[in-house]
Amino acid sequence: GAVVSQHPSWVICKSGTSVKIECRSLDFQATTMFWYRQFPKQSLMLMATSNEGSKATYEQGVEKDKFLINHASLTLSTLTVTSAHPEDSSFYICSASAPGTVNTEAFFGQGTRLTVV
C-alpha cells in the first residue's frame, strides 16, 4: 500500500529555535497533504492543509507565521515550527492521499515527537 514517511521521528530543540519536519509520499504523488497535532491523551487536531504549488490553508486558531508550510513538490511537504516554545511540544503527524482516486483512504506518517526545552 501507499506509504507516507515523516522525518525526523523525534526531535529535541531549545526554546526560540526553529524545527523543520518533512513529510514525503513515497510511491504516489500528493497534491494535498494534511498536518495534524496531537497533545498527550488527546485526539488529532488538524492544523493545516498543504497544497502543492500554492499557499497552505490553516485551521482557525493556528498561526500561519509560526507554523510555516511548504509544499514545493508532489511528494514533499514541510512544516517548520518557528521560534519554538515549550507549549509547542507535541506529536505532529502528516497525511496524504493519492489524488483524484475514488474509494481510497488517507495514509499517515509515523509522526514526529517534538520536545522544546
Chain contacts with another protein (rule: CB under 8 A): 4, 6, 30-32, 34, 36, 43-46, 49, 91, 93, 95, 97-111, 113
Nearest distance from C-beta of residue 63 to another protein, angstroms: 19
Nearest distance from C-beta of residue 83 to another protein, angstroms: 26
Contact 32, 97 (CB under 8 A): yes
Q: What is the per-residue DSSP string for 33-73?
A: EEEEEE-TTS--EEEEEEETTS--EEPTT--TTTEEEEEEE
86 in helix, strand or coil?
helix
16/55 with CB nearer another protein: 55
6/75 with CB nearer another protein: 6
3/16 with CB nearer another protein: 3
Contact 23, 4 (CB under 8 A): yes
16/26 with CB nearer another protein: 26
